[in-house]
Amino acid sequence: MVLDLERAAGALFHWLAKTPGGIRVVDVWGSREQYEAFADSQIGPHTAAAGAPAPPTVAVAPVHNYLAA
pLDDT tens-digit readout, 21-57: 888 999 999 999 999 999 998 888 888 888 888 878 8
43 belongs to a structural domain: yes
Backbone angles phi, psi at 27, to 5 degrees: -125, 150
Instruction: Flag whether 20 is in a domain.
Output: yes
Is 15 a domain residue? yes
60 found inside a domain: no
Rounded-to-10 torsion of CA 31, 9, 47, 25: -60
Examine the pLDDT at 15 and tell me if it is beyond 80. yes
Give the pLDDT score at 1. Answer: 57
State the total domains in the chain: 1
pLDDT at 2: 60
Q: What is the pTM of this model?
A: 0.76
- Give me the domain span that covers residue 32: 5-49
64 assigned to some structural domain: no
